[in-house]
Amino acid sequence: MSSMREPPVLRNHLPRDLVLNILANLPVKSVLRFRCVRKSWNSSITSPSFISSHLKLNSSRRLLFMKCDRILYDRQLCTVICEHTFDRISEFDIPFTWPKLVGSCNGLLCFSAKDGLYLLNPSIGKFKAVSLLSSSSSAGFSFVETGFCYHSETNDYKIVKISYYLGGTPPQAEIYSINSGSWKRLHPPFAPDVLLFNIHTDLFLAPFVSGALHWMAYVRKGVREPARPFILTFDVNEEKFGMMETPFAVIRSNLCRVFKGKLALTEEEGDPLLLHVWVMKEYGVHQSWTKLSVVPFHRVIRFNGYSDNGLLIVEKSYDIFSANGEVEILLHHWQRRSMKRRNSTVEWMNLKRISIDIETLHEKDVGGNGIEDFRSGTNFIESLVLLDRADMVPVRL
């Protein structure tokens, strides 16, 4: 006879649906602990249906930021903070060498690292190394842009790579499916007579909106034609590229982002700088581009992006101190800065990370939570995604 007796709550046999409903409303860490209670619970928790239900019920939105390790520069640290209070929730090392964040979907992070691509779910502490094509289309190209997306109809996560020269050979593209575990070539993003001048992402991720990835691209027809800004799109359902016109004809923006679930652009203008926030109210309808707000960017060094609830996250400077203690004058411009010196050498600059409500222009200091000097950031949600896959590798974070 077994010396172990089931707790009363289990002997009373709560209805299975009720138990699963309770579990689906718990945080990820709590759910993972309940896998040890019974084999049937573990089987239910790792099922695709439960993982999907838990994801839909999870309303805890986070912001995730990356920054270099101060000692090991080939490593990156991640800090997760609450979107509403900006309190730090967790911090972990990324277990890859020279990682660059490619995208974030449903709690699953995609990284491009020194030795390849990786998918990581930090909430469950598991990752998957993505195999490469035997003869990758990116070989020999000067630039490679990567996007990460989710195909809801097939519950599949996909990686899109675009390889190109600046205004040279037509770009090539390929796509990876986690369900098939393989890559395949895609039709070229542009017509043969269109030259890709540049795709600008910098440290920003290709936003995934309305079932499509988006990049701000500059293209031209012929070598002598001036480059024009377009939004390069990739429809994940159709697996086809497209081009979308911007609401302005001249190159005054290089930021393509998500604002409250809609495609957004930022347009810079004036000195001192003003930031115009454009939002596509109805996806795919050019006439629905709306200038939502104008935000003065006095003393702003860098625009970092939007939170899910629509707050601007920026890096702002205050004072620059010289060796003799005098305050220098700092002139700020969009993603660049210059300075008037007064016969002294600058020692350091006081920078702060702040959030800005674009409707009220209210500012809030979000520093002091481990996101100082971060390299890139994204919206994030804790989830059980890929917990049901046997090819995921456990990792201690």
Q: Is the pLDDT of residue 241 over 80?
A: yes
How high is the pLDDT of residue 326?
Answer: 43
CB-side neighbour CA atoms (13 Å) of 37? 17
pLDDT in tens, 166-189: 656 678 899 999 999 999 999 888
Give the mean model confidence (pLDDT) for residues 130-151: 75
Q: Determine the average pLDDT of the residues in 315-336.
A: 45
Tens of pLDDT along 250-290?
A: 656 567 888 889 999 887 776 667 778 889 999 999 999 99
Asked if the model's pLDDT at residue 117 lies above 80, the reply is yes
Residue 364 neighbours by CB under 8 Å, 6+ apart = 86, 354, 355
**Strands annotated E in 155-202:** 156-164, 172-177, 182-186, 194-200
Model confidence at 323, in pLDDT bands (50, 70, 90)?
very low
Overall pTM > 0.85? no
Compare 341 and 282 and report the one with higher pLDDT: 282
pLDDT beyond 60 at 6: no
pLDDT for 96 beyond 80: yes
C-alpha distances (whole Å) from 60 to each of 33, 287, 358 are 19, 34, 23
Is the per-residue pLDDT at 343 higher than 50? Answer: no
Q: What is the CATH architecture of 59-394? A: 6 Propeller (2.120)
Per-domain residue ranges for the chain?
1-58, 59-394
Residue 77 region by backbone torsions, left for phi larger than 0, else alpha for psi between -120 and 50, else beta: beta
- Please report the pLDDT score of residue 320 as a whole number: 45
